[in-house]
Structure 1
Amino acid sequence: MKRTSIKKVFSVVIILTVIVSSLIFIFLPIARNTSHQTHWNLPQNYSITSSSLSEESFTPILEEEKSGVGTVTILNISYQEEGFTNYSSAVQYKELNDDISLGALNVTYNSTQFINTLVNATGDYLTNSFSDQNKILIRLNESLQIEFDNSTSDVDGLAGYLIYLPRLTPIDISEIYIDNTKLEEEDYAIKNIDSYPFIYFNYYNYFGELSSGTFIMDILFTYNITLNDWEATQGLSDDLTVSQQTENITAEYEYFFEIVSKHYTGQTSIGSIMDASDLYLNLKVIPFDRNQLTYTSLQLNGVIKNINQYSTDNIITINVSDSFTANKSQFLLDFSSEFTVHFYKALDNTWAIDRLVEQFHIRERIYFPSIIDGPSHLIVRCIIFEPSISTNEMIDSYTQFERDISRITGEKGGLTITSPVLIRGELACPFVIKYQAINNFQITIKDNFDVPLSGLTVELYYHNKMYGTYISKGRVQPLGPISTDQNGQINLAFLPKGIYAIGIYKNGDLEAVKFLNTIQPVYSFTTEIPHIPIVVIIFGSISIAIILIGIVYYLKSNKKR
């Protein structure tokens, strides 16, 4: 009876041991999941309602893609060229020619004096303050001394009038004074003689039929001086390459203009209209944001000047003595300025959004470059190297503001992109590179015995965001669930170039993180996930050990009998 009880007890112990071991084996994954709550620290998924750019968020402030050049004004001029007092080819003025040839009428040129500048040249291309005025409107006074005499026997009566054409052209006569008295409009006339606008003045009627006399005539008129090819142009160099989300650059510029105005050539008769080579200018150049500019060189008509002799408070003054004339004289100022480039909402230092737009592989990468510090009137371009897109993958490029972004070249397997023009004051100037994603991965995941594992969940990450049809800093649209097949494989297609990470999950528990590069398309990863036969061996060993212990116990019990 006692032996039967011992057998029963031993049987019960063995059965309980088997049951407990089985429960441990069954609930082991649950226990591991409970004790391993820390998943790979990556963001949650976000749904999106639209993948289009918001035009309301980004507004251009440039009317034209030009740098503002500031103001150029005239301070004084020097011009001592007499106009034309007769027109010998006109038969109707024969009497006047007789007066002049016989000395009955003498017109002496005194001077041409600068009065003031009425309108400065201004180049400002911001929408709110736009001005594209490349002409300087000045006011001049041309002074003549006139003597008339009908007292000699050689003169048979005066013609009684004069005609005069200032040499500078075109002009707009505003006022005429005789001995400091302003003439009324009916006291003189502008007569077109063979299309030349001569002043006609009947002094005989004005002075009441005097036979002789002397008077001063002051002719006040306005006159334009034009700045051609007036612009500040940025030079491009490797120093403008940016690779960080916020980075300082130094941009170099050439500030240039050619100044010109016209006059009539000829001595006693009118010749052609040519550049006013004898019009010497005293002018002032006042660039926008001048205190943020560093001047490096100044050239006047190709001759290098000492910039310190011309610049005061970064205002350039050219004197009459510098022989800067209005016959296409050239002004060239080299300067540099500092800018801070910032990529708004950048995910990978430069680009902000990567999205699928067509089929399975046509994507767009969107950039939001901006200027957050620097001059407010100078446009600037920076250079961006995009390693993830090659020239054979690129399809198109465009900007939201329709600015030029045609300067894109291939380099080191990627793209060197010259940005569209940027200017401080805009939130950003969005631009897009449209490309085809052609890279693939074949990944095999194995356990710690190198046996492929099926049914594992795999999450794909790109730039620390779950990869999908839309990737940005704030939200993503991920791919659907990815699981390993019966061969432990997953195949991923139509991927952008670059480095990826995968999170490998089993029963919701993160088992491993692995990194991949599209340079290598095939990967095989061995994990620390236990091979199931090992558990079986362990369980079997435990069972055998318990059985052996039972046998030993049984034999000892028989000996005691």
Structure 2
Amino acid sequence: INESISVQFNSSVSGSEGYLIYSPKLYPRVLNQVLVKNNTDPIIVELNEEDYTLDSNDYFVFNYMNFFSTSFHNFSIYFIFEYTLTLEAWDLTQNPSDVLSLTQQIQTFSPSFYYNFTLIGTKIAGNLTTLPVPAGNLVLGIIVNPLDKDLFFDHILEIDDQIKVLFLEPDKKINVTISADAKLFSLKFSINFTMVFENSVDFSWAIDRLIGDRDIRERIYFPSLISGPEHIFLKDITLIESTIIVDQIISNSSLFERNVNVFDEIVSITQETIENSLIF
């Protein structure tokens, strides 16, 4: 961050001294560089550590009377410092209201997701003994560069429930201004996933075989994502299996010990022709 101050002083008074003592309000921070410019000279000069000090409370102390030699001065001073922002509740969630039902052996879904975080900046509002408070007067220009952003579509951006427009850059980055007092950034977008069932038999979803004494039928499902984002997971997919009734189920399991929920499908929700089907 670059913070600048303009100073006017008159050193013509005999025995006068001139010190600039200053501390930026934004906190926490680290001072990296200090530049000064005499307004009668176009040259900007960088101060070295011998030209100023930082006291025990991190106040900047500058003896400008020693630094300048003329009797009347107008100068500007520029503080370049790093400022720490806190990012909280940073997550990516799938929209739970989207119903993802498989009806074909190869199918493309377009679920929506929420990319959320809260950005917090603080400042010193009173004396040094008071706790920092949110820096509501600090407006930040931020660029958000999500992974897999080239696949996003149907973008909706809200900052604290206020919809923003004209935020999408040509390279799909998000460019927006936001104040630093714990504002919620929420980007809703959709993205395509294509799923296929590998090695399925005819019009079923699975490999079908007899095991044991050939009195137990085993079905093995191999769902596979063949296209979609690399860094976003898809969940809560529903498969309607109309060729098995619930009383026929002995057990079910997943190769990676993931949960597989099996329950009766309510016929009226899907097709009237599906009776005693399963959903899992």
TM-score, normalised by the number of residues in structure 1:
0.39
2:28 matched residue in structure 1: 170
1:192 matched residue in structure 2: 56
State percent identity of aligned pairs. Answer: 30
Cα separation, 2, equivalents of 1:391 and 1:277:
62
| Correspondence 1:201 to 2:201 | no
Q: 1:252 aligns with which of 102, 106, 112?
A: 112
How many equivalent pairs are there? 257
| Correspondence 1:217 to 2:77 | yes
2:156 matched residue in structure 1: 297
2:3 matched residue in structure 1: 142
Cα separation, 2, equivalents of 1:199 and 1:354:
79
1:342 matched residue in structure 2: 196
Which structure shows the bigger proportion of residues in helix conformation?
Answer: 1
Cα separation, 1, equivalents of 2:197 and 2:50:
67
Cα separation, 1, equivalents of 2:20 and 2:168:
47
User: Matches of residues 68-79 of structure 1 in structure 2 within 5 Å?
Assistant: none
1:234 matched residue in structure 2: 94
Give 1:375 shift. Answer: 3.4
Letter in 2 for 1:408: N
Cα separation, 1, equivalents of 2:13 and 2:248:
92
Rate the CA distance shift 1:391–1:325 in 2: closer, same or farther, 3 A.
farther
1:539 matched residue in structure 2: none
Letter in 1 for 2:25: R
1:325 matched residue in structure 2: 179
1:383 matched residue in structure 2: 238
2:256 matched residue in structure 1: 399
Give 1:361 shift. Answer: 10
2:264 matched residue in structure 1: 411
Cα separation, 1, equivalents of 2:23 and 2:85:
19
TM-score, normalised by the number of residues in structure 2:
0.71
Rate the CA distance shift 1:294–1:213 in 2: closer, same or farther, 3 A.
closer
Rate the CA distance shift 1:166–1:352 in 2: closer, same or farther, 3 A.
farther
Rate the CA distance shift 1:304–1:145 in 2: closer, same or farther, 3 A.
closer
Rate the CA distance shift 1:211–1:361 in 2: closer, same or farther, 3 A.
farther
Cα separation, 1, equivalents of 2:155 and 2:248:
38
Give 1:233 shift. Answer: 1.9
Give 1:370 shift. Answer: 2.0
Give 1:378 shift. Answer: 3.0
Contact 2:53–2:60, Cα closer than 8 Å, also in 1: yes
Structure exhibiting the larger radius of gyration computed from Cα positions: 1
* Structure 1 gaps, min length 5: 1-139, 418-561
2:137 matched residue in structure 1: 278
Rate the CA distance shift 1:414–1:146 in 2: closer, same or farther, 3 A.
same
Give 1:165 shift. Answer: 1.2
Cα separation, 2, equivalents of 1:374 and 1:407:
23
Contact 1:252–1:334, Cα closer than 8 Å, also in 2: yes
Cα separation, 2, equivalents of 1:238 and 1:391:
30
Q: Larger relative contact order (C-alpha < 8 A, sep ≥ 6)?
A: 2
Q: 2:47 aligns with which of 169, 183, 199?
A: 183
Give 1:240 shift. Answer: 1.2
Q: Secondary structure of 1:399's partner?
A: coil
Cα separation, 1, equivalents of 2:98 and 2:9:
73
